[in-house]
């Protein structure tokens, strides 16, 4: 706009500048808040997209992925509220403080549910096991079929499905039988080089061939279980029977089943058996029949042993220790 002398009128610009200067104490926090919220929005978009892709690639269920993203969204929302409180001053801060007290009381009322969600997030992040693993959690064992924010679903060997609360999972001893194939190959190779038994070397060579041809992934499942025999039983006969059965079951597993004397106590001598399977479904399918056949030694000859009164002749039970190699002792 020009005045009578033909010069541009800048009064309205000066008025805007004066208004900004007069209200700068109020405008500046708004500008800072706007920049902070823009940065926060960018970080939120990148974080949620990256987290969603990673959760999808890890095979986590859609329910669990949605729950985790929701928690992240709530966290960013809380951060945005805190930034807004800092921008608008103490009056709004007092109001938010009252709201915070109310939210805290509400949170305490739902503390158990919140604890379950936190435990679920920890399991999904720390990943002590994943979907498809064969695990033992307390006295429950089987294949993990799903992990949600509240429950872990297990398919047991008898085909029943059980849901374990994640709070119980974290407070219980967990054994994951998944092992890298490379670790198994190293153990088998070491044993093959250290033995002079030709038949054993041949079986170990076959085992190495099976391990190296695995195409479903770079993992296998090393499972152990214990059988305890009373002292009055014929242990030499039982060990011969164990060796025969293990050889007969060689083609069901990646490595010939093996056993060793593990411990002894007042109940008898405990033998630990180790099997290595390619798939967790093989454990569900074969472990029960293998245990049954190992115990068939008692039906072959009634005079082979003499049962002790008031004591079980034998017990067979799975074991959750996988830290020591189980090697055949005869």
Strand, helix or coil for residue 136: strand
Please give the residue that has the higher pLDDT: either 68 or 265: 265
Cα 217 to Cα 320: distance, rounded to the nearest angstrom: 23
- Across 31-35, 82-86, 313-317, the highest mean pLDDT is recorded for 31-35
Please give the residue that has the higher pLDDT: either 1 or 161: 161
Cα 150 to Cα 107: distance, rounded to the nearest angstrom: 17
Strand, helix or coil for residue 141: strand
Q: Which residues pair with 146 in a beta bridge?
A: 153
pLDDT interval class at 274 (50, 70, 90): very high
Kindly give, in sequence order, each residue whose CB lies less than 8 Å from that of residue 175, ignoring residues fewer than 6 positions away: 135, 136, 137, 320, 321, 322
- pLDDT at res. 47: 83
Cα 283 to Cα 292: distance, rounded to the nearest angstrom: 14
169 pLDDT exceeds 80?
yes
One of 3.20.20.70, 3.10.310.40, 3.30.70.380, 3.30.70.1130 is the CATH number of 180-319, namely: 3.30.70.1130
Please give the residue that has the higher pLDDT: either 171 or 8: 171
Please give the residue that has the higher pLDDT: either 269 or 122: 269
Tokens found for residue 252: 């069901």
Kindly give, in sequence order, each residue whose CB lies less than 8 Å from that of residue 218, ignoring residues fewer than 6 positions away: 180, 181, 182
Helix (H) or strand (E) holding 65: helix 62-88
- pLDDT at res. 185: 73
1 pLDDT exceeds 80?
no
138 pLDDT exceeds 50?
yes
- pLDDT at res. 308: 40
**What is the per-residue pLDDT across 228-243, written as a single tens digit (0 to 9) for each?**
998 888 899 999 999 9
The percent of residues above 70 in pLDDT, for the chain, comes to 59
326 pLDDT exceeds 90?
no
Please give the residue that has the higher pLDDT: either 51 or 251: 251
Tokens found for residue 180: 């890298």
pTM for the whole thing?
Answer: 0.59
Instruction: Write down the domain spans for the chain.
Output: 11-109, 129-176, 180-319
- 129-176: which CATH topology? SH3 type barrels. (2.30.30)
For the chain, the farthest-separated pair of C-alpha atoms sits apart, in whole angstroms, at 130
- pLDDT at res. 315: 55
Cα 201 to Cα 242: distance, rounded to the nearest angstrom: 19
Residue whose C-alpha is closest to residue 70's, from 85, 55, 89 = 55
- Across 3-7, 72-76, 115-119, 215-219, the highest mean pLDDT is recorded for 72-76
Please give the residue that has the higher pLDDT: either 20 or 6: 20
Average of per-residue pLDDT across 247-263: 89
Tokens found for residue 125: 């992040």
Angle in degrees, CA 153, 159, 161, rounded to 5: 25
- pLDDT at res. 135: 93
309 pLDDT exceeds 70?
no
pLDDT interval class at 79 (50, 70, 90): confident
């Amino acid at each position: 706009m020009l005045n009578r002398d033909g010069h541009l009128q800048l009064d309205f610009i000066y008025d805007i500048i004066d208004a900004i200067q007069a209200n700068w104490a109020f405008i500046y926090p708004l500008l800072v808040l706007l920049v902070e919220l823009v940065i926060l929005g960018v970080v939120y978009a990148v974080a949620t997209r990256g987290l969603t892709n990673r959760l999808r690639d890890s095979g986590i269920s859609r329910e669990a992925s949605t729950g985790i993203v929701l928690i992240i969204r709530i966290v960013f929302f809380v951060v945005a509220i805190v930034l807004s409180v800092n921008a608008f001053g103490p009056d709004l801060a007092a109001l938010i403080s009252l709201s915070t007290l109310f939210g805290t009381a509400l949170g305490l009322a739902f503390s158990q549910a919140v604890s379950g969600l936190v435990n679920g997030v920890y399991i999904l992040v720390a990943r002590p096991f994943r979907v498809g693993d064969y695990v033992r959690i307390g006295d429950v064992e089987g294949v993990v079929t799903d992990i949600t924010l509240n429950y872990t679903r297990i398919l047991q060997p008898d085909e029943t499905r059980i849901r374990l609360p994640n709070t119980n999972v974290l407070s219980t001893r967990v054994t994951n039988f998944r092992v890298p194939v490379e670790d198994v190959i190293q153990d088998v190779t070491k044993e093959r080089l250290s033995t002079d038994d030709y038949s054993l070397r041949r079986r170990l060579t076959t085992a190495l061939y099976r391990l190296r041809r695995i195409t479903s992934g770079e993992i296998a499942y090393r499972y152990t279980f214990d059988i305890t025999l009373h002292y009055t039983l014929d242990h030499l006969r039982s060990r011969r029977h164990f060796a025969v059965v293990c050889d007969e079951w060689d083609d069901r597993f990646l490595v010939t089943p093996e056993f060793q004397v593990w411990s002894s106590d007042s109940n008898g001598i405990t033998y630990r058996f180790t099997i290595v399977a390619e798939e967790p479904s093989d454990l569900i399918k074969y472990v029960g029949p293998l245990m049954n056949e190992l115990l068939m030694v008692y039906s072959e000859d009634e005079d082979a042993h003499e049962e002790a009164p008031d004591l079980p002749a034998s017990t067979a039970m799975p074991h959750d220790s996988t830290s020591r190699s189980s090697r055949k002792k005869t």
